[in-house]
Amino acid sequence: MAMGIQWNKPLVLGTSLVGLLFFTYVSYSLLTRRSEPTHQLKMFKTWKRRETRSLPEDIEAKSEKVDVKVKERTFTYQSQEVKLHYLEASPASEPKLHILLLHGAAFSSKNWEEIKTLHLIAAMGHLAIAIDLPGASKSKTKGIKISDRADFLDTVIKQLDIKKPIIVSPSMSGGYSLPFIMGSNSETCTDRALGFIPVAPVGTDNYKPVQYNRCQLPTMIVYGDQDSGLGLTSLGNLRNLPNSEIFPIKGGSHPCYLDEPEYWNKLVYNFLLEIESDQNSK
C-alpha cells in the first residue's frame, strides 16, 4: 500500500494560526499607521521649479545703478518712541514684490548694502528694505521683550507699508521672524508672509515638527556648511517645512552670505524668480 504524506496536525494548525495573526497585524498596521510628512516622502513639488540660473548681465548692469536711500521712521510702540533706521532700494516702477531684510546680533542693515543684495533686489523690480533691529546699530530703540517681537515686527511692516513680505532672516533675527511667521497657528503662515529665507536663525527649537509641517510658506533654507552650531540646529528643525529647499554654502561660516556674496545673491535671485512666477500664475 502506498505511503501517504504524514501530517502533523498540531504543527499545521499552529503555523496557520501564526500566519493568520501576522496577516491581521500587517493589515491593521497599513490601515492605521500615521502618514509620513509629505516632504519626507517627496511626493509633491516645492517652490523650486527650475534649475538654478546665473544672474543675467542686464540685471547686473541695473544693479550698479541702484541708489540705496538711508531713511528713518519714528513711531510709538507700547508707550516708547521708536526711531527706526533702515535702508531702502526701490525699482523705477511699482515694485512687484516686497522684501524685508533683517540681520544678526553683530551685524546691521549696512551688510546688505555692502554685498549688493539690496541693489540686486531693486534691479529685479522689487522693493528692498533692510532695517536695524532695536538695540542694534543706528536704531535708537530699547530692546524689545522676546514675547513682543512678533508684534513689533508686524508693527514695523505696517509702519513702512510693506505688503506681505518675503523675509530674509539670519541668526538673532529669528527671534523676530519665526514667531511672526508661525504665529499662534502655523497653518496660516502664508497669510503673513510671501516667502522666507532663513540663514541659521535662532529660535527654531521653539516649534515642533508638526507645527512646521502645517506651514506651506515657500522657504529657502541657507546655511554655511562650516557652521556646526546654529547652522545644523536650525537646519534640523526648518527642514520640516514642507515647501522648503536647502542650500548649503560650501566653506561658509555662520554669516555665510558674507563669505560667498556672489553665490548668495545668485540664490536670492533664483528664489525671487520662483516666487514672482508663482504670483503671476495666480
CATH of domain 39-280: 3.40.50.1820
Per-residue pLDDT of the chain (282 residues), as tens digits, is 444 445 454 443 444 444 444 444 434 333 333 233 333 333 457 999 889 999 999 999 999 999 999 999 999 999 989 999 999 999 999 999 999 999 999 999 999 999 999 999 999 999 999 999 987 667 777 778 999 999 999 999 999 999 999 999 999 999 999 999 999 999 999 999 999 999 999 999 999 999 999 999 999 999 999 999 999 999 999 999 999 999 999 999 999 999 999 999 999 999 999 999 999 988
User: In the prediction, which pLDDT does 44 show?
Assistant: 53
Indicate which residue of 108, 169, 227, 244 is catalytic: 227
- Cα–Cα distances in angstroms (integers) from residue 244 to residues 74, 145, 254, in the given order: 36, 29, 20
User: In the prediction, which pLDDT does 139 show?
Assistant: 72
Residue 191 main-chain phi, psi, to 5 deg: -80, -20
Indicate which residue of 139, 169, 171, 244 is catalytic: 171
Indicate which residue of 85, 103, 126, 254 is catalytic: 254
Whether residue 227 lies in the annotated active site:
yes
User: In the prediction, which pLDDT does 29 show?
Assistant: 38
Q: Give CA–CA dist 282/270, Å, rounded.
A: 19
The pTM of this model reads 0.84
